[in-house]
Structure 1
Amino acid sequence: MIRQTRIDSPLGEMLLRAEQDALTGIFFVGQRHCPDIASNTPDNGDDTLLDETRSQLDAYFAGRLARFSLPLAPSGSDFQQRVWRALAAIAYGERATYGELTHRLGLAPGAARAVGTAIGRNPLTIVVPCHRIVGSKGALTGYAGGLERKRALRDLEAGQRIRHSVAQT
């Protein structure tokens, strides 16, 4: 059974989803690939795992948490799972390019596009840190939640506080 709840964050409303004992999704409401929240799935406002996720996200946004400790079970192909594990290994505040990530995965340089597609389908935004991936020259490119949110997350990890809510992009 899918359990879900919506939470407010400094970067806009988020949807948290879990099945059994693990998180299956963390999305900004309205981002690309966000599941339909108008479904018949009830909001589980009183759920231990979803509450812990909210608590860790709050600590992250306040600059007090650099590494999440949550049980994760994202749904995706073997290739997507491999890319998402590589994303999870990128440390707080660090950056990597699509090409560097492709190299870390032991793939040919031409696979960077496939890696980018898998990153774009990451169902666990922030916790699996796709915002730490940049273009080949360091440019902020591609983020399902919008580039303003990606910039804000990068700034947060560089020691800057989030000053205002980022409008949905």
Structure 2
Amino acid sequence: MRLPGRVGYAGRTSNGTVAAFIELDRVRRQPVGAAGEQPCAAVAFESTYRALPASRRRLFRYLGLHPGPDFDVCAAAALGNLTPVHARRTLADLCERRLVVECGTRYRIPDLIAEHARRLAVEEPAVLRAAALARLANVDRIPLDPRRGRPGDRH
């Protein structure tokens, strides 16, 4: 069981560098199923996903890049390049639609839905995926001004 609080996201990779996150992204982009195969669940998830507003769809795609089983608001904000307030609101909407599950102060995407999020993340341009992973790697290493309401705001 993990205790809530600050998590060193960069510490989850071999050397904590942006390159390690990019390598993890490369591994995650490997095909999940047989070519042309789309399970019925994926069709249902796609329908729910398409019903989301564009900003919610974008964060959901980027959450598919997260390397761990769960994440906090600051990690979601970093991936989506959002303020913590906007990330929290978006996560609340995704929870309401049952695409994300709230676990105390953390969130997780159920396994089947996470696979769908990863597939969607692969469709993003590589440069945008790398930028999102770089923001995630830096979320705990760069002290940000809490008055600006950006990731790193722990108040």
Give the TM-score normalised by structure 2.
0.33
More strand by share: 1
- Compute the TM-score of the two structures, normalised by the length of structure 1: 0.31
Larger relative contact order (Cα-Cα within 8 Å, sequence gap ≥ 6) = 2
